[in-house]
Every structure is written in C-alpha cells, then in structure tokens.
Amino acid sequence: MTEKIQTQFKRVETKYIVKKEQLDELLKDLKVYLKEDDYPTSTISNIYYDTPDFDVIKDALAKKNLREKIRMRSYSANPSKDCPAFLEIKQKDSEGIGHKFRLVSKLEAINKLLTSGEADKSMTDGALIQEINALGQRYPGLKPRIYIYYDRFSLKQKKKLVDKVRITFDRNLRYRDFDVDLSAGTEGLPLLEDNQMVMEIKASKDKPEWLKEILEKHGLVKMKFSKYSCAYHRSQGLDYQPQAKVKKESVGA
C-alpha cells in the first residue's frame, strides 16, 4: 500500500546550532528515546519564490501578514523538470505555531502555478490553489529568487513514547541567487561555518522533560535562524548570524 502523503502540518519548530564534533554524543543520548526515520538520510533542494524586490521576506521580517514563505522542494538527488516536487506555503500565527500546507506535482507545473497562476489538472487541492493565487495577487511578480540545498538526517519518536517529537539535522547548507533552478545542480555559497549544522525540533506541544535535559546537558540554546532569511541577507551583502532567543520577562505589578 502506498503511504499517504501528509499535506498539512501544525507544530512548534525550534532550531539549534550544533557543532559537528558534538553530534556523536548528542545522537547517543537522543537515540535512547528516538530512532532513525523510515528514510533517515535525504538531500533537499528548495526554490524560494519572491518578488523582484523581495517583498515576501521583507514582510516576514517585519512580522506582517502570517510571515509567509513560498517554496518548491525536491527530495531527488538530481531533480529534473519532470520529477515530483512539493509546493509549500509556510505560515506562522500570532502564538508562534508554524503551519505548513503543500501539494505534490511536477517541477514545471509548480513553477507555472506560482508564476502565472495556472494550475495543472493534477492539482486537486482547490483551497490551497486559491491561497496561492491570493498570494500572487498580494505579491505580483513572484518568481524563483533563491536556491537552498542541504543534506538532512532525521529522527522520530519510538512507538512506546507518547511525545510527538521529530528531530532533523541539516548540514552542508548552501545557497545561490543565480541559476535559480532545481535542475541546475547543487553548487552554491555556504550559509554556515564548515563545522556547524542546524538541529530542528518539530513538536506539537511543549518539549518533554527528557528532551529538555538532553539540550541542557549539551549546552544547546534555542536560536533564531531562518535559512531563507540568511540566504536573502547574504545575497544582498547584509550581515546575518544565528542569534540566541531571549525569553521575554513578565513585567511585575
């Protein structure tokens, strides 16, 4: 039986910068509670769509609308125009919970939908197509703007656990703002230092105590980091560095 592809996600995502020399000991602790995903290793290529003036990312940085990101993603090692790909809309609500909506089609058909609003007959999610067309009206001139690539290693919870936790490690992150095409190879400029990777925790609720203890043991601090925002800043010659998230303190009476 073919596994049903999930097309809607609602979860809290937190990011951490991990040094490569930390990885073995960190994985040893995590694997007490988690196991490798069904397909633990993958290569991920993304095309982020934006206007000529980068209005989508500028609005997201200004926390306007729902801080949208619009991208096409492929898990193929060598994507071609006819290979399957995901069109994804990422949004974040006022409580910081991430929402992701996606549909599956071919590279060429997805690009046509985003740039001209024309949906292929294989696209059956009418509500998502309407949302994409609404984004196209809000952001006229959407086109491929940034390419981002990385290698991913994924862990998921063991069946005996009730905590819904998934953790991914992304390394070899690179981007380019030229030849923004998934079939144009994986070359690009680095987003992080050579010994750094991004660990992302995806959960549907607060982190379980066992995970909090592991994070504290390895000195890992929640970071503010966006791959697309980083690539946008670098492409414009602007500085961008991962920053530790600071908890907001409540004001006393």
Decide if 3 is inside a domain: no
Decide if 249 is inside a domain: no
pTM attached to this predicted model? 0.88
Whether 72 and 163 have beta carbons less than 8 Å apart is answered as no
Whether pLDDT at 198 is above 50: yes
* pLDDT recorded at residue 251: 39
Decide if 253 is inside a domain: no
Whether pLDDT at 73 is above 50: yes
* pLDDT recorded at residue 80: 82
Q: What's the alpha-carbon Rg for the chain, to the nearest Å? A: 19
Instruction: Considering only residues 14 and 83, tell me which one the structure prediction assigns the higher pLDDT.
Output: 14
Decide if 234 is inside a domain: yes
The number of C-alpha atoms within 13 Å of 198 and in the hemisphere containing its C-beta is 25
Spatial separation of the C-alpha atoms in residues 143 and 177, rounded to whole Å: 12
Instruction: Give Cα separations from 23 to 18, 27, 38, 191 (angstroms).
Output: 7, 6, 20, 19
pLDDT band at 131 (very low <50, low <70, confident <90, very high): confident
Decide if 183 is inside a domain: yes
Tell me the residue range of the domain where 186 lies: 8-244
Query: What is the helix (H) or strand (E) element at residue 214, kind and residue range?
Result: helix 209-217
Whether pLDDT at 162 is above 90: no
Decide if 1 is inside a domain: no
- The whole-chain average pLDDT of the chain stands at 88
Whether 123 and 103 have beta carbons less than 8 Å apart is answered as yes
Domain count, the chain: 1
Decide if 72 is inside a domain: yes
pLDDT band at 10 (very low <50, low <70, confident <90, very high): low
Decide if 118 is inside a domain: yes
Q: What is the CATH number of the domain that holds 192?
A: 3.20.100.30
* pLDDT recorded at residue 4: 46
Q: Which of 17-31, 128-142, 178-192 has the lowest mean pLDDT?
A: 128-142
